[in-house]
A and B are shown apart, each in its own frame.
Chain A
Amino acid sequence: MSNIINSLYNIRLLDDLARKKTFIHSIHPLIKLLTTIVYVAVLASFERHEVSALLPFVFYPVFILSFAEIPVVPILKRVLLVEPLIIGIGILNPLFDNYIVVFGDIVVSRGWLTFLSIFIKCSLAVTVSILLVATTGMDRLAIALRMLKIPRIFALQLLLTYRYIWLLIEESLRMVRAYSLRAPGQKGVKINDLGSFLGQMLLRAFDRAQRIYQAMSLRGFTGEYNAGDVPKIKFRDFVYFAAWSLFFIIARIYNIAVLIGALFTGVGR
């Protein structure tokens, strides 16, 4: 039950954050989406043992966290919740790759480097995805998707799903509560009850969809989704995108961490 409450809280939090009005929030949604995609793609392009060169990529999420006034802890919590799976896959690497790597005084199996690399990549990629929605919001992301020529029907359906997630999760929470009060000490819903439990919920969802359709068609809906005008991309947005892309590419080509390290240790190459 707690994971249901957590999900509700999470959606609500991100939706609230997305309605702040900061410099980051005012960047065009398409620009933010593209910047995020470039970021993730560049990140993914690093080969599997790379660790130190990934670190400069921390700047981007930190930049957004600070400028968009996003609270760090709840976002990190969210990221940590995703981590076990990736750790699961990552942890297998040291089992299969035993090549020994020596770092000055430290000896590690190369598998651990891969693991670390995956771990960092995952943390960063998840963080920026969540930050994207936390600074943009689902409705404006749908605008960005529409500008990418994604079928309108998909955009509408996506928004509808997002709209009703909250409602249906709440409903499922109430049902699980009512169920568990009458089934003490039982872990989850019995599989024998599952058909009618989820089935009832499903039938209500069907009826709701029917009523929503009526509400839509009463207001002139005929299968064509007429969204409003899309906001224009301004010069400032271009600069934002160009500047970050440039940074990502530089950070991809040059290992900034090593360069900084060289400054301090005096060791070049």
Chain B
Amino acid sequence: MHMADALISPAVGGTMLAATAGIAAYSAKKVQNDMDESKIPLMGVMGAFVFAAQMINFSIPGTGSSGHLGGGMLLAILLGPYAAFLTMASILLIQALFFGDGGLLAYGCNVFNLGFYTCFVAYPLIYKKLVRKGVNPRSIFVGSMVSSVVGLQLGAFSVVVQTLLSGKTELPFGQFLLLMQPIHLAIGVIEGLATAAIVTFIWRARPEILERVAFGKSLGGVPIKKVLTGLVVAVVIVGGLLSWFASTNPDGLEWSIERVMGTTELETPDGIHKVFSEIQSRTAFLPDYGFKTDQDDVQNQPAVEDEESWPSVNAGTSVSGIVGGAMTLVLAAFMGWIINILKKKRGKAVA
């Protein structure tokens, strides 16, 4: 899942865009200063690779479900953190524009949630530490697994925080967190498995590729520790409040929603129908609309207690709103229709 435009406020979106732009500018500078220019086409092609790899489903043993690669950690391992961050940013931009995953306003959130934690927290502080003593299949596996899981956990937490700060949904913090973190634990494990498998293969086939990043020019002489400490401090302060989660796995999310829905259905309180019939008795001509009343947990939270922000409902305004809304849509459709007709006419006239 990506953070979506519909879930965030301009303030959160704008802040995250600014933060992301800052990190991206810094990364671009690093890449330009520290790397040979042959990395630029490599970044481009690796971005395309991750894009393509994300589309390949693989079966997860013992579950009957399938997953796919997110790619953030893989990019960091293959390209180093700065180049990986920029590559992730371009992948996400193309996804937002062409596939509607995320969005323009949420773009900053998505790059931060998927790129920052992976490239600048999980990779240098976990993966590199774990693999430092010696690259071998075991250290690659442990490093990929732990860093992927941590990266995704941070990202998921970040999504929750960004969503709640934006206040565009009603989800309570605790529930949302309990929903997101476990799913992303699963997604993280899958991501770790896939990343480890690919990195191990590369290590066996062409170890020089990994060595070049790990010890090579890409980070030569850069005080990565200092940079990272600074960034981590910034994360603790800013990032604690901002940000999102890494792997794009709709399967996982849908699954957990289903689960939550299932549970709520079980817990449907009896009182709900009573409440509704009371309301019904108050409104004279209540049409028998099929709202999913069994999902409304009215008893637990008395309506009266709820925030005062909701204006007292004025029947007149509401009716105007509904009628006007319908008219607006009709008008818009009509406008489109007229433009099309006019265009066709003009096209004919020209021809």
Contact = CB atoms under 8 A, between A and B. Distances in A.
Judge A-B direct contact (beta carbons within 8 Å).
yes
Interface of A: 3-4, 7, 10-11, 14, 36-37, 40-45, 47-49, 51-52, 55-56, 58-59, 62-63, 65-67, 69, 78-79, 81-82, 84-86, 88-112, 114, 117-119, 121-122, 125-127, 129-130, 132-133, 138, 141, 150-151, 153-154, 156-165, 167-169, 171-172, 175-176, 186-191, 194-203, 205-206, 208-210, 212-213, 216-217, 221-223, 255-265, 267-269
A7 B55 contact: yes
Contact of B48 (A86, A153, A165, A210): A165
B329 to A, nearest CB: 6
A78 B316 contact: no
Interface centre among B99, B197, B260 (most CB of A within 10 A): B99
A208 B45 contact: yes
A103 B335 CA distance: 29
B86 interface: yes
A52 B169 contact: no
B9 interface: yes
Contacts of A47: 167, 309
26 contacts: A44-B6, A44-B105, A66-B336, A95-B264, A100-B279, A103-B313, A105-B283, A106-B287, A106-B289, A107-B279, A112-B291, A122-B6, A126-B5, A130-B97, A130-B98, A153-B40, A154-B28, A157-B40, A157-B43, A160-B47, A161-B90, A191-B58, A203-B206, A206-B42, A212-B44, A255-B321
Interface residues of B, number: 134
B191 to A, nearest CB: 12
Contacts of B40: 153, 156-157, 160, 213, 223
A45 B169 contact: no
Contacts of A269: 314, 316-317
A201 B74 CA distance: 14
A262 B197 contact: no
Interface centre among A78, A132, A190, A195 (most CB of B within 10 A): A195
Nearest to B299: A98
Interface in B151-186: 163, 166-172, 175-176
Interface centre among B8, B264, B324, B327 (most CB of A within 10 A): B324
B326 to A, nearest CB: 8
Interface of B: 1-2, 4-10, 13-14, 21, 24-25, 28-29, 31-32, 36-38, 40-49, 51-53, 55-61, 64, 66, 69, 78, 86-87, 89-91, 93-94, 96-101, 103-105, 163, 166-172, 175-176, 193-194, 196-198, 200-202, 205-206, 209, 250, 253-254, 257, 260-261, 264, 275-276, 279-280, 283, 285-287, 289, 291-292, 295-298, 300-301, 303, 306, 309-310, 313-325, 327-329, 331-333, 335-336, 339-340, 343
A201 B53 contact: yes
Contacts of B200: 195
B324 A161 contact: no
B69 A104 contact: no
A154 B291 contact: no
Contacts of A14: 98
A5 to B, nearest CB: 10
Given A188-B66, A261-B320, A261-B321, A99 B99 contact: no
Nearest to B46: A205
Interface centre among A63, A95, A109, A201 (most CB of B within 10 A): A95
Given A99-B303, A105-B287, A191-B197, A210 B38 contact: yes
* A-B interface, 4 closest residue pairs, ranked by CB to CB distance from nearest: A160-B44, A261-B324, A199-B201, A195-B197
Contact of B260 (A92, A163, A221): A92
Contact of B315 (A52, A104, A203): A104
A82 B2 CA distance: 10
A85 B252 CA distance: 11
Contacts of A109: 291, 296, 298
Contacts of A69: 343
B5 A98 contact: no
A198 B194 contact: yes
Contacts of B315: 102-104
B51 A169 contact: yes
Interface centre among A49, A102, A109, A198 (most CB of B within 10 A): A198
Contacts of B2: 85
A3 B286 CA distance: 44
A199 B335 CA distance: 52
Given A111-B296, A157-B40, A191-B59, A82 B101 contact: yes
B90 A158 contact: yes
Contacts of A95: 260-261, 264, 295-297
